[in-house]
Chain A
Amino acid sequence: MQKYIPVIFSLLLFSLKSFSQSAPAEDENIPFLMTFGGNSETSWGDDDFIQIFFCIVPPSKTDPVYIRVYDPDTGDELDEVKGIFNSVINFSVYGGNNCWSDTAAQSIHPDLKHISGFLLASKSFGLDPKYDKKWYTFGPFNPYEGENNEKLGGRILKIVASGVSGDDGNIYRYFLSTSPSENIPVEGGNLFTYKYHFRLPDNQKQICQIYPYVDDKTISIEISNFDWDNDGVIRLFSIAKNGIMCDVSDEDNWKINKFTTVAEEKNSTLEIQFIKNQSLLVRNNNVVVTIRNQYGASLPFYVVPIGGVPVYAPKIRMK
C-alpha cells in the first residue's frame, strides 16, 4: 500500500481542487443526508439512526476550519415528520488520535457509547425554527486537532449525527468551510463516510450517484443497500464495469450484492448509480448504502471522487 500513498494523495489533491466540500456533493445529485431519531422505525429508511462523516483537511491547511450543518433541527418542511416532531439529533465533532484510525470508527455498525477520538464540539437539535433551512457552524477547529494520516492525505475530523430520541427524520447537509458564516471550501479537502445515509430526490428524472474508493487490497466488493423501496435500479460503474445491476432492497431490508474486482479497478473510484422508478413515484425515499471488501472492511464513499468520476473503458478484443 505504501507505494500507492503518494499516488492517492496526488490524486486527492488533483481531484479536490475543482470540487466543493459539501456532503452530499453537488455532483452526487443527492439532496440531503438523513438521520432519524433514536426511537424511529427502521422501515422509514434509517437502519441505525447514526451517521458518521470524516472531514479531510490537507496538511497545507493550517488556518481554522469549520463544519457547517444545514437545517440541523428536526421540524420543518425539509424534515420528515411522524405524527408530531419530537426528535432530538445530536451533532458531535471529534478530533485527536483514533478519531478515524480506531477500527470501530470505520465500522458500519458503530457503537454510540464508544465513539473514538477527542470530542471537540457537540450540540443537539430538536424542533427549533431558527435553524430551519439555515446553516449552523461548528468550529473553529485547528486542523492540528484532527488525526494526522498520510494515507488519507491530511488531518481527519469526524462529525457524528446521532438520533438521540424521537421518531422523525432529520434531513440536513454538511459543508467543510474555511469561514464560519459562508461556505468556502477548504482547498484540497474532502469528506467521506463508510455508511451513507441519504435522502433521494423526488424528481424521477434525477440520477444520483455515490463514489466508493477501492484500495489495492480489494479483490471483491459487497455492496449493500437498505430500504430502497424498489425505487428503480441501482447500478455499478467503474473503469471495468459498465453499469452492472444490483439487487435492490424493498421495505426495511438489506440487499447485498457481491462483485469481483479486476486489477485495473484497484486504487480507483467506483460509481454506484441510483435511478428512480420511472413509472411509479416514490417520495421521500431514504436509503442506506455500504460497501465492504472481501475481508469485511468498509470502503469509504468520498463526496469528491478520488481520481475523478470513473469512466468505463471497454477492452475491445477480436477473435
Chain B
Amino acid sequence: MNRNFGVILLLSILSQVRLYGQDQRYIVSTATFSSRSSDEFSPVYYKGGIVYCSNLASGSLVSYQNGDKKLSKIFYLQVKDGLLSKFPKLLAKELTSGFNDGPVTFGDGGNVIYYSRNNSIENSLRNINDTTNKLGIYSAQLVNGIWTNIRPFTWDDPRYTFSTPSLSPDGKRLYFSSDIPGGSGGMDLYYCDFRNDAWEKPVNLGPLINTSKSESFPFAARYGILFFASDGLKGFGGKDLFYTRQINGEWITPVHLDSAVNSPADDFGLVTDSTLKKGYFSTNRLLTDDIFSFMAAPEEFNNCTTMEENNFCFTFYDEKYQTIDTIPVIYEWDFGNGVKRFGTEVKHCFPGPGDYTVRLTIVDQLTGNDIAEKVAYSVHLENKNQPFITSYNIGLKDKVMVFDGSESNLSGFRITDYFWNTGNGFVPGGQKFTMAFRRQGDYTVRLGLLGERDSLGTIPRACVLKKVRICDSYQDVALRSINEANKACKQADSEKGEIMTTRVKAYLMDDLGSKQKSNIKELLKEPFDLTIKFSKTGICSDSFFFLDAIAEVLRQNQDVRVEILVHSKREKVPAEQKKTSEQWARLLSFYFKNKEMDPDSFRSNGSVLADSFFDEDLSENKTVEGAIDFVFLKK
C-alpha cells in the first residue's frame, strides 16, 4: 500500500470527507455498492467481485437484532462484463446463520473460506442477545459450488471471541483478533502458521502492535504487509487504520494511514488489491458503516544514486615505512583467528561488517628484537549507508530474477516500505522482488525506501539504482582441464586451516561479437586447473594461473567485462552459504583490483547455490565445495 501519495484536492468533492490535519495521500470515495441505509463493512476481493458484510435485509427467515442493529450477513457482488453487479446477494445460504456472519477471508483460489460467526446458531430464545454466544472463526470448503465441511478453527474457544480472520496471500498464515487471556487487553491481533498440515498455536503480535484497547480487522496483504485497525494506537480517534510488516523477523512500529483514509470516526476493515495501489476500507464517518474505495497516487523517488558495492578488502601498510629495501625488518600482521600475513604491504579481506583489530609486530632481522610489538589498529567495517539491492548484474530473457533489498543499511532510518521500479514506475513491494524481463537489453532497477516518520512529521526516503544486463542466450567455453585437484594450497603467508575447492566454468553471453568470442576462447584454450581454491581468508596462489588468464582476456578486450558468479555449497544454511559466497566473491574482486584492472571490467557476486544462474545442480558433486562461473559480456 502506498502511503506517500500526492495531495489530491478533489477529495472532498469525491467523498465529502473532511481533512484531518495531514496532506491527503489517498483518493477516497464512497464505494458504489455501499448504501446509506444499512451497514456495510469488511470487503474482500473474491473471484473478481467483492464479498462484504452487511446488515442489509437478506430475506432469510430469521433476523435477530443485535442491540439496535441488525445482524450482519455475508454478501457477494459478482462481476459481469467487467463491472460489479449492482445487486448484492448472500454469498451462500450454508454460510448464513441468522446470527452475525463475517467478516471473511478466502484461500486456495477462493475454494476455502475462514469467517467469523456466532458460535451458537440454534434458533432458540436463549441465544437472543446472549452475551456468552461469542464470535468464533469457522472454515469451509467449496465443493461443487456448495460450502461444505464447516467447522470451527483449530484454536477456537467458545469462551472467547475469535473474529476478523485474514489469510496471508500464500495461505500459510491466518491472522485474527481475539480476547483470549495473555494479551495486552481488549482484542489483540494473533496469527497461526500452517505447518505440517495443522495450524500452530496462536502467536500474539506483541506490545508494539497490540495495546490495552482493541486491535482487529487484520488484512494480510502482499509482501508481508499487515493492515489492521486499532483504537489504542495514536490516531485521529475511534478506530484508525495502520499497517505493519515484519522486517528481518521484527514487526515495525505501526504506520498510521494518513487522511483521508483515517478520520475521527471508526475506520477499519481495509483490503487492497494485489498491486497495493487501490482497495476498500470501512468507516462510520457518515454515521452508518460504509465501504469506501481508495486509490493511492504513484510513488516517486527522485535522485536515485547508483548503488555502491560494499568493500571489506584492504591493503595494509605502515605509512612511516621508508621505501628503502635495505631495511632488514619483518612486518608481521596478525588479523586474528590465526591469520598472519608478512610483508610491508599486505592484503586482507575481512569476512564482513564488524569490528576487527589488526596487530603489527616489526621484527629487526639483524638483532632479532621487536622494533614494534603488536601495535594495534582497530578496523570498523559496516555496509555502506544506502539501500542495497542484492542480485545478479546479468540475467536471461524470460528467466525470473530476484532482487533483494534486505541488506539495505540506513542509519537512523527504520524502513517501513519497499518500492521497486524496473522501468515502469515504482510499485510497492517487499524486501524481495522478482522480475522476468521479456526482452534483452540493459535495465535499471531502482529500490526506493520509506522510513518511519520522524518527530517533525517527515518521512525519510532513500533510493538506489542498479543496472542489469538481460541476455538472450549464452554458450559455454570449452575449458581444458589439468588435474591439479589434489595439489596443496600454496599460500604466501602462514595461514593454516581448511582449503575449499570450487569448480570453474566460463560462459560467453550473446551480446559479444564473434571476434570477441573467438579471442576469448583462444586466450582460454590452454589447459588449466579448473578449480579455484580458497583458504580461510585468501585465494591459494596456485589458482592464480587461471585468474591471470581471465585478467589477460580483459586486458586484450577492453570492451568486455566479466561477471563472476560465486556459489558456496559447503554450508547447510543458505544464509551461511551466502556469507561464504560473498567472501569468496570479495576475494576474487580484490584479486583483479590488485591487478590494476579497470574496475568496470569485473564484478563478482556471491549467492546461494539454489539461485545459481545456470541452474546447475552441484549437490551430488562431492569433490567441490562451490562453483564459480566467469561470464563474459560486453561492457
Please state if A316 and B364 are interface contacts (CB–CB under 8 Å).
no
Please state if A317 and B372 are interface contacts (CB–CB under 8 Å).
no
Please state if B375 and A316 are interface contacts (CB–CB under 8 Å).
yes
Residues of A close to B317: CB separation below 8 A: 316-319
Residues of A close to B367: CB separation below 8 A: 207, 275
Q: Which of B66-74, B279-287, B320-328 contacts A (4 or more CB under 8 A)?
A: B320-328
Q: With CB as the reference atom, state the residue of chain B lying closest to A318.
A: B314
* Complex alpha-carbon distance, A317 and B378, angstroms: 10
Please state if A315 and B371 are interface contacts (CB–CB under 8 Å).
no
> Is A313 at the interface (CB under 8 A from chain B)?
yes
> Is A245 at the interface (CB under 8 A from chain B)?
yes
Please state if B314 and A315 are interface contacts (CB–CB under 8 Å).
no
Please state if B314 and A311 are interface contacts (CB–CB under 8 Å).
no
Residues of A close to B318: CB separation below 8 A: 242, 314-317
* Complex alpha-carbon distance, A312 and B314, angstroms: 24
User: B-facing mask of A241-267, CB < 8 A → 1, else 0?
Assistant: 111110000000000000000100000
A244-B322, A319-B315 known; A314+B375 contact, CB < 8 A: yes
Please state if B316 and A311 are interface contacts (CB–CB under 8 Å).
no
Q: With CB as the reference atom, state the residue of chain A lying closest to B346.
A: A318
Give residues of chain A (300-319) contacting chain B, Cβ–Cβ below 8 Å.
311-319
* Complex alpha-carbon distance, A311 and B361, angstroms: 13
Please state if A243 and B315 are interface contacts (CB–CB under 8 Å).
no
> Is A127 at the interface (CB under 8 A from chain B)?
no
> Is B377 at the interface (CB under 8 A from chain A)?
yes
CB distance from B361 to the nearest CB of A (A): 9
> Is A115 at the interface (CB under 8 A from chain B)?
no
Give residues of chain A (191-239) contacting chain B, Cβ–Cβ below 8 Å.
207, 233, 235, 237
Residues of B close to A242: CB separation below 8 A: 318, 320-322, 327, 329, 362, 371-372
From A237, A245, A315, contact of B324 by CB (8 A): A245
Q: With CB as the reference atom, state the residue of chain B lying closest to A242.
A: B371
> Is A104 at the interface (CB under 8 A from chain B)?
no
Grouping DSSP codes into helix (H, G, I), strand (E, B) and loop, the A interface class, with mixed when no group exceeds half, is: strand
Residues of A close to B319: CB separation below 8 A: 314-317
Please state if A319 and B314 are interface contacts (CB–CB under 8 Å).
yes
> Is A240 at the interface (CB under 8 A from chain B)?
yes
* Complex alpha-carbon distance, A313 and B375, angstroms: 8
* Complex alpha-carbon distance, A233 and B324, angstroms: 15
Please state if A318 and B372 are interface contacts (CB–CB under 8 Å).
no
> Is B573 at the interface (CB under 8 A from chain A)?
no
Please state if B360 and A316 are interface contacts (CB–CB under 8 Å).
yes
Residues of B close to A233: CB separation below 8 A: 366
From A207, A241, A245, A311, contact of B320 by CB (8 A): A241
Q: With CB as the reference atom, state the residue of chain B lying closest to A243.
A: B327
* Complex alpha-carbon distance, A88 and B11, angstroms: 115
* Complex alpha-carbon distance, A313 and B326, angstroms: 19
> Is B379 at the interface (CB under 8 A from chain A)?
yes
> Is B402 at the interface (CB under 8 A from chain A)?
no
Q: With CB as the reference atom, state the residue of chain A lying closest to B325.
A: A245
* Complex alpha-carbon distance, A207 and B369, angstroms: 12
Residues of B close to A275: CB separation below 8 A: 366-367
Give residues of chain B (526-564) contacting chain A, Cβ–Cβ below 8 Å.
none
CB distance from A150 to the nearest CB of B (A): 33
Residues of A close to B328: CB separation below 8 A: 243
* Complex alpha-carbon distance, A154 and B364, angstroms: 37
> Is B485 at the interface (CB under 8 A from chain A)?
no
* Complex alpha-carbon distance, A245 and B318, angstroms: 18
Q: With CB as the reference atom, state the residue of chain A lying closest to B321.
A: A242
* Complex alpha-carbon distance, A317 and B318, angstroms: 6
Q: Which of B315, B364, B377 lies at the interface centre, i.e. has the most chain A CB atoms within 10 A of its CB?
A: B364
Q: With CB as the reference atom, state the residue of chain B lying closest to A205.
A: B367
From B315, B320, B327, contact of A318 by CB (8 A): B315
Residues of A close to B326: CB separation below 8 A: 245
> Is B358 at the interface (CB under 8 A from chain A)?
yes
Please state if B316 and A318 are interface contacts (CB–CB under 8 Å).
yes
Q: Which of B315, B322, B326, B329 lies at the interface centre, i.e. has the most chain A CB atoms within 10 A of its CB?
A: B322
User: A-facing mask of B359-397, CB < 8 A → 1, else 0?
Assistant: 010101011000110010101000000000000000000
* Complex alpha-carbon distance, A240 and B316, angstroms: 17
Residues of B close to A316: CB separation below 8 A: 316-319, 358, 360, 375, 377
* Complex alpha-carbon distance, A313 and B361, angstroms: 10
Residues of A close to B371: CB separation below 8 A: 237, 242-243, 312
Q: With CB as the reference atom, state the residue of chain A lying closest to B369.
A: A207
* Complex alpha-carbon distance, A270 and B358, angstroms: 27
CB distance from B340 to the nearest CB of A (A): 15
User: A-facing mask of B300-333, CB < 8 A → 1, else 0?
Assistant: 0000000000000011111111101011110000
Q: With CB as the reference atom, state the residue of chain B lying closest to A259.
A: B322
Residues of B close to A312: CB separation below 8 A: 320, 362, 371-372
Residues of A close to B358: CB separation below 8 A: 316
CB distance from A128 to the nearest CB of B (A): 40
From B316, B322, B375, contact of A317 by CB (8 A): B316
Please state if B364 and A314 are interface contacts (CB–CB under 8 Å).
no
CB distance from B379 to the nearest CB of A (A): 7
Q: With CB as the reference atom, state the residue of chain A lying closest to B365.
A: A243
Q: With CB as the reference atom, state the residue of chain A lying closest to B328.
A: A243
* Complex alpha-carbon distance, A94 and B339, angstroms: 61
Please state if A241 and B379 are interface contacts (CB–CB under 8 Å).
no
Please state if B321 and A243 are interface contacts (CB–CB under 8 Å).
no
* Complex alpha-carbon distance, A316 and B334, angstroms: 12
* Complex alpha-carbon distance, A237 and B366, angstroms: 14
Residues of B close to A243: CB separation below 8 A: 327-329, 364, 366, 371
CB distance from B305 to the nearest CB of A (A): 23
CB distance from A247 to the nearest CB of B (A): 10
* Complex alpha-carbon distance, A233 and B315, angstroms: 31
Residues of A close to B316: CB separation below 8 A: 316-318
* Complex alpha-carbon distance, A319 and B364, angstroms: 25
Residues of B close to A245: CB separation below 8 A: 324, 326-327
Residues of A close to B321: CB separation below 8 A: 242, 314
Residues of A close to B314: CB separation below 8 A: 318-319
Q: Which of B316, B317, B362, B366 lies at the interface centre, i.e. has the most chain A CB atoms within 10 A of its CB?
A: B366
* Complex alpha-carbon distance, A207 and B364, angstroms: 13
From A244, A311, A317, contact of B327 by CB (8 A): A244
* Complex alpha-carbon distance, A312 and B375, angstroms: 10
* Complex alpha-carbon distance, A43 and B459, angstroms: 84
Residues of A close to B364: CB separation below 8 A: 243
CB distance from A263 to the nearest CB of B (A): 12
Residues of B close to A237: CB separation below 8 A: 371
* Complex alpha-carbon distance, A317 and B314, angstroms: 10
* Complex alpha-carbon distance, A207 and B367, angstroms: 8
* Complex alpha-carbon distance, A242 and B326, angstroms: 11
Residues of A close to B329: CB separation below 8 A: 242-243
CB distance from A280 to the nearest CB of B (A): 16
* Complex alpha-carbon distance, A244 and B371, angstroms: 12
CB distance from B318 to the nearest CB of A (A): 4
User: A-facing mask of B27-70, CB < 8 A → 1, else 0?
Assistant: 00000000000000000000000000000000000000000000
Residues of B close to A313: CB separation below 8 A: 320, 372, 375
Q: With CB as the reference atom, state the residue of chain A lying closest to B359.
A: A316
CB distance from B358 to the nearest CB of A (A): 7
* Complex alpha-carbon distance, A71 and B317, angstroms: 50
Q: With CB as the reference atom, state the residue of chain B lying closest to A239.
A: B320
CB distance from A292 to the nearest CB of B (A): 20
Residues of A close to B362: CB separation below 8 A: 242, 312, 314
CB distance from B311 to the nearest CB of A (A): 11
Q: Which 6 A-B pairs have the closest CB atoms?
A: A316-B377, A318-B314, A315-B319, A314-B318, A245-B326, A317-B319
> What are 8 of the A-B contact pairs (CB < 8 Å)?
A243-B329, A243-B371, A314-B320, A315-B318, A316-B319, A316-B360, A319-B315, A319-B317
Known: A313-B375, A318-B379. 11 other contacts (CB 8 A): A242-B320, A242-B372, A243-B327, A243-B371, A275-B367, A312-B371, A314-B320, A314-B321, A316-B318, A318-B316, A318-B377
Residues of A within 8 A of B (CB): 207, 233, 235, 237, 240-245, 262, 275, 311-319
Residues of B within 8 A of A (CB): 314-322, 324, 326-329, 358, 360, 362, 364, 366-367, 371-372, 375, 377, 379
